[in-house]
Amino acid sequence: MLNLRGAKRVVILGGGTAGWFAALSLRKIFSVAVEIRVIESSQIGVVGVGEGGLLNLQAALHSIDIDTNDFVCETGATYKWGFSYEGWRTGAKDDRYFHPFASAEGLASKWEKSGGFPLISAMIHNGIEMPDYLRGMELIKNNASQQEAKQALDDKQVDIISSFHFDSYKIAEFFKKTALARNIVHQDAIVDDVQTNEQGRVVAVVTREGERIELDLVVDASGLSRKIIGKVVPSRWQSFGEHLLMDRAIPFYMPHPEKNPGLVSRAIALSSGWMWQIPLVNRVGAGYVYSSKHVSDEDAAAEIESHLGYAVKPQRVIRFEPGCYEQVWVGNVLSVGLASGFVEPLEATSIGQMIESVRNFVRVLTLSQGIVSDSAVREFNMSNHQSWIEVRDFLRMHYDCPRRDTPFWRDVAATPLPDAYRALKECMQLRAPRLLDLEGYTLHGRRGIFHVINWMFVATGLGLIPRDAVKTELMALPNEGKQAVGEFLAWLQQRKTAATAAAAT
Ligand SMILES: Cc1cc2nc3c(=O)[nH]c(=O)nc-3n(C[C@H](O)[C@H](O)[C@H](O)COP(=O)(O)OP(=O)(O)OC[C@H]3O[C@@H](n4cnc5c(N)ncnc54)[C@H](O)[C@@H]3O)c2cc1C
């Protein structure tokens, strides 16, 4: 049991996106008598990458009473409507598929039947690209400006929900500024020691200057240095290296390749991994994430330049092992953000996962009224772990692609599939995936980070659902269902004809 009644101080170790977000969230639930203190080191700094949000970003900002417009102004944010995957199938110049952030209001995803989506199945059966049903895709493809995107969103002319791209340094600064205005204490110091009592509870942290800061609850948001969980308090590390090969990244900045900042994050396949390009207002945050078994750091840096055709200034090499801690809440320690695990930058899952973890932590603390049972903590950890497993499997699916042209892509193809994804893939040979298939990734009906529609955008983009697989479910529709499918396909055809005519004028 964790007794937080009478708690005097909560320490957050780390002032990156995760640390400040946790501090702002906890400030809302602890009384003013409890000090919330963020200890971070300007000498160590933040990781300085992580510039793309997921669909839970807007709700997360609202949950800490941050106005979206303020967020956009202060962090140099641009609209993010999803992802563009380039070169993941054939490697040819025009090889591209999209994973857009589809709104549940879009026609095809609105019509759910027993957890399946017959209109999407009809698209698969007719060889139609899944994003074609979404209003707003033409803005992505035509490199619309931010103003055009805003107008379309305001006018509800798109079936896409927006998240944001943002500057990773500015987001931490903005959260910090907001936190300081809300009575959160900030201390710039390096923590060298973490002290525990006989029960293994953390009782204090000690700075390099020798200051001992007592605490009742500590959030380990120390990034990849992972100061507490797994070191001071025990937790099992689960490596995902058996299934996912990425373990290095070289970040750099580049100018916009097009007139306007794109509305999607780009993931461009290269010889031994892929390059992210995240368009902000004044620059693109980019990086090559790769497998160190297949390319050296020097050759990776050279490949960036040969791909872009100009010189760039690589910031540094970031090393990581894909994986997570199985228990992120141990005793009076919660670990969040990179301190709790990291899979890789694909699909920008890290901040989204951190937000869910903090949200669930706040929920458990609130419902517990200061007395947290061991079973609540156990359940939290199981749920959090399942979420990591979902990320692992979802990302593994992205590499279930047809490229075989370099040693890396051939090794990717030979890399084992996790059991749960393998089982899902088997089902996808015979029918489209449905909500039920993903329930194992969540506990007690809580939603995972990705909806089955997100899985389907990637699965169909990679051709992982055979056209014939959905035939039986379409045949089984009642007559009115079949009629609705026919009308939908006719509507899609009309839109296509109109778009072709508009492009020709
Ligand atoms: C290559 C790469 C690409 C990524 N891309 C994305 C993306 O597109 N989308 C996404 O959601 N996420 C992405 N991420 C993850 C994202 O960067 C992080 O989830 C996010 O920035 C939060 O980081 P953090 O706060 O956990 O750690 P950090 O930003 O590293 O902060 C750690 C903090 O701990 C402090 N600290 C560490 N040790 C000590 C100590 N001993 N004493 C005092 N302070 C200490 C540091 O000073 C710092 O303030 C990416 C990560 C990598 C590596």
Strands 217-220 and 9-13: parallel
Percent of the chain scored above 70 by pLDDT? Answer: 99
Q: Taking residues 155-167, what's their average pLDDT?
A: 95
21-76 residue pLDDT tens: 999 999 999 999 999 999 999 999 999 998 999 999 999 999 999 999 999 999 98
44 ligand 1 Cβ < 6 A? yes
341 ligand 1 Cβ < 6 A? no
Q: Report yes or no on 274 lying in a domain.
A: yes
184-201 residue pLDDT tens: 999 999 999 999 999 999
Q: Report yes or no on 306 lying in a domain.
A: yes
Q: Report yes or no on 345 lying in a domain.
A: yes
What pLDDT, on a 0 to 100 scale, did the predictor assign at position 109?
86
At 135, which amino acid appears? R
- The number of domains in the chain is 2
Q: For residue 503, is pLDDT > 80?
A: no
Instruction: Give the residue from 390, 416, 435 where a domain finishes.
Output: 390
Q: Taking residues 237-252, what's their average pLDDT?
A: 98
Q: Are residues 15 and 146 in the same domain?
A: no
41 ligand 1 Cβ < 6 A? yes
Q: For residue 504, is pLDDT > 90?
A: no
Q: Report yes or no on 484 lying in a domain.
A: no
Q: Are residues 347 and 461 in the same domain?
A: no
Q: Are residues 294 and 362 in the same domain?
A: no
384-407 residue pLDDT tens: 999 999 999 999 999 999 999 999
Q: Report yes or no on 186 lying in a domain.
A: yes
46 ligand 1 Cβ < 6 A? yes
Q: Are residues 134 and 7 in the same domain?
A: no
Q: Are residues 449 and 415 in the same domain?
A: yes
Instruction: Give the residue from 390, 419, 440 where a domain finishes.
Output: 390
Q: How far is ligand 1, taken at its centre, from the CA of residue 297, in Å?
A: 21
Return the ligand 1 atom nearest residue 339 CA: 26
CB burial of 244-264 (b: ≥16 within 10 Å; e: otherwise) equals bbbbbbbbbebebeeebbbbb
Which H or E element spans position 427?
Answer: helix 419-428
What pLDDT, on a 0 to 100 scale, did the predictor assign at position 502?
81
Q: Are residues 333 and 371 in the same domain?
A: yes
pLDDT tier at 443 (50, 70, 90 boundaries)? low
Q: For residue 202, is pLDDT > 80?
A: yes
Q: Report yes or no on 481 lying in a domain.
A: no
Percent of the chain scored above 90 by pLDDT? Answer: 93
Q: Report yes or no on 502 lying in a domain.
A: no
294-335 residue pLDDT tens: 999 999 999 999 999 999 999 999 999 999 999 999 999 999
221 ligand 1 Cβ < 6 A? yes
Q: Are residues 68 and 171 in the same domain?
A: yes
Q: Tell me what the pLDDT averaged over the chain comes to.
A: 95
Q: Is-contact 61 359, C-beta < 8 A?
A: no
Q: Taking residues 258-274, what's their average pLDDT?
A: 97
Q: Report yes or no on 16 lying in a domain.
A: yes
Domain residues for the domain of 172 are 2-75+167-236+326-390
Q: Over 117-168, what HEC string results?
A: CHHHHHHHHCCCCHHHHCCCHHHHHCCCCHHHHHHHHHCCCCCECCEEECCH
pLDDT tier at 114 (50, 70, 90 boundaries)? confident
Q: For residue 446, is pLDDT > 80?
A: no
Return the ligand 1 atom nearest residue 14 CA: 34
Q: Are residues 105 and 225 in the same domain?
A: no
Which H or E element spans position 249?
Answer: strand 248-254
Nearest CA to ligand 1 atom 13: 50
What pLDDT, on a 0 to 100 scale, did the predictor assign at position 442?
80
* CATH number, domain with residue 53: 3.50.50.60
Q: In terms of C-beta density within 10 A (0-12 exposed, 13-18 middle, 19 or more buried), how is residue 189 classed? A: middle
Q: Are residues 155 and 250 in the same domain?
A: yes
40 ligand 1 Cβ < 6 A? yes
17 ligand 1 Cβ < 6 A? yes
pLDDT tier at 448 (50, 70, 90 boundaries)? confident
Q: Are residues 90 and 41 in the same domain?
A: no
Q: For residue 445, is pLDDT > 60?
A: no
Nearest CA to ligand 1 atom 44: 40
Q: Taking residues 269-283, what's their average pLDDT?
A: 97
